[in-house]
Each structure stands twice: as structure tokens, then as C-alpha cells.
Amino acid sequence: MQIRENHNIKALNTFGLSAHARYFCSLHKLGGLRSIMQWADTYPELPVMFLGGGSNMLFVKDFPGLLVHVRLQDREILGQDDDYFYVRAAAGENWHEFVRWTVDQNLAGLENLSLIPGTVGAAPMQNIGAYGVELKDCFYELQALDWRSGEIREFSLEACRFGYRDSYFKSVEPGRWLIVSVVFRLPRKPEWKTDYAGVKERLVGKVLNARVISDAIISIRQSKLPDPARLGNAGSFFKNPLIPLAQWESLKVQFPTISGWPQGNKIKTSAGWLIDQCGWKGKREGDAGTYDKHALVLVNHGSASGEQIWDFAQSIIASVQDSFGITLEPEPRVIL
């Protein structure tokens, strides 16, 4: 185990922001946890945070505690029953590479989640989703280590309390649990999710299977979203807001092109559309800006600081609130 002090994590967050962790270490094997925890016990007031691919983080400030970079690697098919295949992946596995591996094994269920940046361990934290599918739809269970006791516990679908870009690990007890592996339940007889705008059109005339759909999703994402290796970003920066039906109906009268999808007793509307209507698409203030092809994506044009990105985001939030009476919520975890 090597604990580094004042470690620059610019290469470990997809915004490409120059930020520092007071203490930093990498976790390659579960066996290394004991020594890390023993070291952390000598600093009981020190905050601890676990980092995967850094694709859902905004470091406005330096992190004042111990940052553990989770790099656990492993993936395997556990078995099958009459309805499902069961597949396990370690938390440090690259999410997209894992999805493509399942496709290579002729397994279906995760193809709509292709090309989402990040790691397997971070995926349930956020209950990632795209093109009509969420992680919870194929989730079976996960294993997580309790940082307080050192014990590993299994969490069922119900125990994870998945919500829209939310989970027990993100909202209820952030920082307590280190996800070490995730088990997915993939259907033997998949029902393809291809009705999402843009997906259906790309699949016209094609025989559907997981690879064909995955390839289409990859193509769509590459056409709409910037590559973090070339332009720093964290993907969609704001959640699509859920608003009361009455509010949406009132907005529909004023803005006939506003979109909406029923979610229980509320309506989900497009954050990207709201931002675009306020004139923010492609706008830039210094090196902080929005992507010119997708208003929902905030970008670092080169040397923006986390504080500049955050100030830019706050300006967008205020603009949407003034125009529509809707308060946008950030999707990434923000370190203030």
C-alpha cells in the first residue's frame, strides 16, 4: 500500500480538472483493504471517498481526505436458470468494456447502456440509464464493504433503493459503503428497448440482437456527446426534472414543444430542452461552457477550474428557474 500526499487527480476525472486529494491510494485487490483501513483508523476525522472512473464527479475544491481509487478487476458468468444468465463484475471494471464483453458472450440486457463512461462499481451508485433502460432493470445484487466495520454485505435490488439517478449508496449513506462487485441478471429471452427517439430510426430493416443495438447506441452517443479524452466533460450534467402534472400542463400551454413523460404522479421533462430554450447551448464563459451539440453537457475547453464550471452551472440553474420555474439538479457528485 502506498499513500500519496497532495496527489493531483487531473488524470482521474473526465472533466480534466486540476484538483488534489490530501491523501490518495489505489486499491487493486480486496486483500489490500485491511492495510488501507488500518491507516485510515489513525485519522478518525479524515473523510474517505471512493473513486471509480471519475466520470460523474465535479471537483470544485480539493478533496481534504483520503481518496481511494478502486481498480478491482474481474468478470465472469456465474450460471443460469430457466429465465436468466447471472454475470458478476468487479467494481473497477470499465463499464463500457464490460457491456461489450456481455455482448461478445451473446448476452442481452445491457446493450442500451453502451458507451456510458465510468466503472461497474460507480454504475449502481447513480443507477445509470440511457435510451429507455436503467441499471436496476438488469440488476440482481451487489457486494459492498462497510467502511466502519470492515464487513462485506450483500445488497438486493430492494436494499439498494434505486431511484432516478439515485441509490441508497448515493443519498442515504454516502461514503460508508465501498461497492466491490455487482451481479447482473440478464434475460434469456430479451425484450429489445428500441422505441427511444433516434434509436428506432437507426435500426430500421435490421435483425435485432444485442450487438446491433449496442452498435447503434454507440453511434448515436458518439454523434451527440463529446469524447472526454478530447473535451473534458461528465456527460449529462443535469437530471431531467420531475414536475407536477399541473405545472407541466401550464407550461405546455405557454411552450407547446416542451416534452414530457409520465413518471408516477409527476411528469419528467427534458433538462436539455429547457437549457436550450434559455439560449445556453454552445455558450462559453472562459473555458467553461456547454457542448454545441447538446445543451445538457457542460464542458471544459481546456483550463477551466472546478469553480468556474460550477459557477457556469449555477448561472444555467438560475436562468432555467427564472424562465420556467423549474430548479435543475446536478447529476454528478459535486465536491465543494
Domain 226-335: CATH architecture, name and number where available: Alpha-Beta Complex (3.90)
Specify the pLDDT at position 175.
86
Q: Cα-atom radius of gyration of the chain, to the nearest Å?
A: 20
Residue 6 pLDDT greater than 80, yes or no = yes
Dump pLDDT digits (tens) for 57-111: 999 999 999 999 999 999 999 999 999 999 999 999 999 999 999 999 999 999 9
Instruction: Give residue limits of the domains in the chain.
Output: 4-70, 75-223, 226-335
Note the CATH number of domain 75-223: 3.30.465.10
Residue 98 near residue 53, CB atoms below 8 Å: no
Q: What is the pTM of this model?
A: 0.91
Nearest one of 132, 197, 224, 124 to 165, comparing CA atoms: 124
Question: 174 or 115: which carries more pLDDT confidence?
Answer: 115
Topology annotation, domain 4-70 = 3.30.43
Number of CB atoms found within 10 A of residue 285's CB: 14
Average pLDDT over residues 296-306: 97
Arithmetic mean of pLDDT, 241-258? 96
Residue 154 bridge partners (DSSP): 143
pLDDT in tens, 17-69: 999 999 999 999 999 998 999 999 999 999 999 999 999 999 999 999 999 99
CA 144 to CA 172: how far, in whole Å?
Answer: 15
| pLDDT of amino acid 75 | 98
**Count of beta carbons in the 10 Å neighbourhood of residue 229:** 8
- Average pLDDT on 300-323 reads 98
Candidates 88, 165, 185, 221; catalytic one: 165
Percent of the chain with pLDDT over 90: 94
Mapped onto helix, strand or coil, the DSSP state of residue 219 is: helix
Checking if the pLDDT of 211 tops 80, the result is yes
3-state secondary structure of 275: helix
The mean of the pLDDT values for the chain is 96
User: Is 236 one of the catalytic residues?
Assistant: yes
Question: Which residue in the block uniquely carries the three cell numbers 454523434?
Answer: 223
Kindly state the cell numbers that stand for 232: 473534458
- Res 207 pLDDT > 90: yes
- The Cα–Cα gap between 143 and 304 comes to 37
Residue 1 pLDDT exceeds 80: no
Report the length, in residues, of the chain: 336
The active-site residue out of 167, 181, 214, 236 is 236
pLDDT band at 217; cut points 50, 70, 90: very high
Q: Which residues pair with 38 in a beta bridge?
A: none
Mean pLDDT within 281-288: 97
In tens, the pLDDT along 101-156 reads 999 999 999 999 999 999 999 999 999 999 999 999 999 999 999 998 999 999 99
Q: Tell me which H or E stretch contains 322.
A: helix 306-324
- Look at residue 197 in the predicted model and tell me its pLDDT: 78
